[in-house]
Amino acid sequence: MRPPPELGAQIALFKAGYDAVEQDRIWAAQSATFRAFWEGRVMGPQQETLGDDLCDPVIRILDRNAKGNTKSSHAVARAMVPQGAWRRILNRLHADRRLGDALDAVLAETVPERKAQAIDRLYELNQGERNYLTGSSGNTVCAFLAAYDPVHNLSVISLRDRRAILEYLEVALPFDWGSASIGVQIVETNHAIQMAVHELGLSGSARTMSRLFYVPAVKVLWRGEHTVQLDGRSVSVAVPTEAEDDEVAVCADAALAGPGVDAPGRSAPADEIRESMQIQALLARIGAMMGFSIWLPKGDRSRVLKAWTPGPGELLDVLPLGYDATTTKTIEQIDVLWLRRRSIARAFEVEHTTSIYSGLLRMADLVALQPDIKVKLHIVAGIERQAKVLEEIKRPVFAMLERKPLREMCTFLSYDHIREIAETKFLAHLSDLVLDDYAVATETGDDEP
């Protein structure tokens, strides 16, 4: 195939500047470390829990965002999986031999058709589990594959990114994306991208080919993500597609229509509204147990207090802040605030299906009104909404705030993880930093190797 002119030039530059021999040597060592852990620990004798000291070095190989990694660390990709979730995945695979064997079959299989079937079997066994192992993006399984065998498995771990690359290269796939199983999608895109890149003149390992697509000048060609200069700093922004604009328009309409409205003319399901209020109540309870004072919007209190009974002094009647009236009014509408004396420590927007955009706008309003505010911001939603939240937060309106992009200040927490934190033993003795083990942040490239 003939490469687009702009890509052909970038391939030549990449080949001249990328030390493939040295990088492959590094990844041979990384793979050996991962395999030793997988075979000796995860698939080893089912004894005690795998401790953080055992899991974390391997998580640093799997995920660039893992605790302890730096810009110079060698990791598969940004997997968008919280540190705590990785630890639980590894321990679940260790404790549940049927699930562990299923992933082991995925890693070991070399025949494409059987590999796709093994992936589908893993997804079937894990169906209904919201544990980050078998999501629709394929991130986690693809990260395991790339760590196990970086020579033959791409570090482009997101199926969304794989599809965007193939569409940019105008590669015809031998399957229908809408009806193909997740196993077929992972296996076939892995093969198709490597074949296409080889035809374009770049040979070598799958790791080498993956790195090409995350060179900034190449990424902008296929991803629709651009870097702009703002006050002397580079800011990455995502330009939404028409389909995304339509979805956001529905969200905005729902926000303008008021609580309890899903879209013009349609009422939101009652159980959905109750769930968001239950999560607000859990966040209030967790914060209070950790010693924070709690703020809830006046309009939500009667419903939230059906699920949480505050102790004396735990729920604030007035925000003790010294901001102007406009800023204070904005802050008062945020779903849950944790305060330490007169300072906000964390702010939470609890979102149900349709209001992601309005929640991000409220966080952005706060930062725009008070650029120097130092508060940890969180969007809380169902785990199935994670990708959407992290994509919306890269929009230009959020990326070009005065101090820094909203994505650098705001993270995602899932409903399931809030429930898990709420059930943690000795919660009253824990620091709020425990939330950071569950939070997912957006980076410049959400699965960049």
DSSP string, 172-238: PPSS-TTTS-HHHHHHHHHHHHHHHHHHTT--S-HHHHHHHTTSHHHHHHHH-EEEEEETTEEEEEE
Give me the pLDDT at residue 396, please: 79
| pTM score of the predicted model | 0.72
C-beta of residue 374 within 8 angstroms of C-beta of residue 364: no
Helix (H, G, I), strand (E, B) or coil at 161: helix
Give me the pLDDT at residue 323, please: 82
Q: In the block, which residue shows the tokens 């052909």?
A: 8
pLDDT digit string (tens) for the chain, length 449 residues? 666 778 989 999 999 999 999 999 999 999 999 999 999 999 999 878 999 999 999 999 999 989 899 889 999 999 988 898 999 999 999 999 999 999 999 999 999 999 999 999 999 999 988 889 998 899 999 999 999 999 999 999 999 999 999 999 999 888 999 899 999 999 999 999 999 999 999 999 999 999 999 998 999 889 865 555 445 555 455 544 433 333 333 333 333 333 333 333 333 444 445 788 899 999 999 999 999 999 999 888 988 999 999 999 999 999 888 888 888 888 898 999 999 988 899 999 998 655 566 778 888 888 888 777 788 999 999 887 888 888 888 887 787 777 778 888 889 999 989 999 998 888 888 899 999 888 888 754 445 67
Q: Of how many residues is the chain composed?
A: 449
- Stretch (H or E) spanning 339: strand 336-340
Residue 352 burial (10 A CB sphere; 0-12, 13-18, 19+): buried
Reading phi first (left if > 0) and then psi (alpha if -120 to 50, else beta), residue 45 is in beta
- Stretch (H or E) spanning 286: helix 270-289
Residue 7: other Cβ atoms inside 10 A: 21
C-beta of residue 165 within 8 angstroms of C-beta of residue 221: no
Cα separation of 198 and 158, whole Å?
20
Over the range 242-268, which residues count as b (16 or more CB within 10 Å of their CB) and which as e?
Answer: eeeeebbebbeebbebeeebbeeeeeb
Cα separation of 94 and 62, whole Å?
17
Report the candidate in 101, 127, 110 with the shortest Cα–Cα distance to residue 181.
Answer: 127
Give me the pLDDT at residue 236, please: 53
Cα separation of 410 and 377, whole Å?
5
Cα separation of 184 and 113, whole Å?
8
Give me the pLDDT at residue 348, please: 95
Give me the pLDDT at residue 255, please: 31
C-beta of residue 315 within 8 angstroms of C-beta of residue 447: no
